[in-house]
Structure 1
Amino acid sequence: MAFIAAFLSSVFLSKSDKHLPTLIFLDQQSNLANTSESYMKQQSGFTLIELVMVIVIIGVLSAVALPKFISLKGDAQQAAVDGVAGALSSASAINYGSRKIGSTSALAATVAVTNCTGVEATLQGGLLPTGGFSIGAAAIAADATSAACVLTGPGPKTATFTGHGIL
Structure 2
Amino acid sequence: MLVRQAALGDKSAFAQLVRRHGPALYRYVLRLLGDPSDAQDCVQEALFSAWKNIAAFRGGSTIRTWLLVLGRNEAQKISQRRRPPFPQSGSRAPVDFDRVSAHVRNTHADPEGDTLENELLGALDAALLQLPERQRSVWMLREVEDLSYAEIASIIGASPTAVRGLLQRARTAIAGSLEEWR
TM tier, shorter chain?
under 0.3
Task: Determine which structure has more spread, i.e. the larger CA radius of gyration.
Answer: 1
TM-score, structure 1 length as denominator? Answer: 0.23
If each structure's strand is expressed as a fraction of its own residues, which one has the higher value? 1
TM-score, structure 2 length as denominator? Answer: 0.22
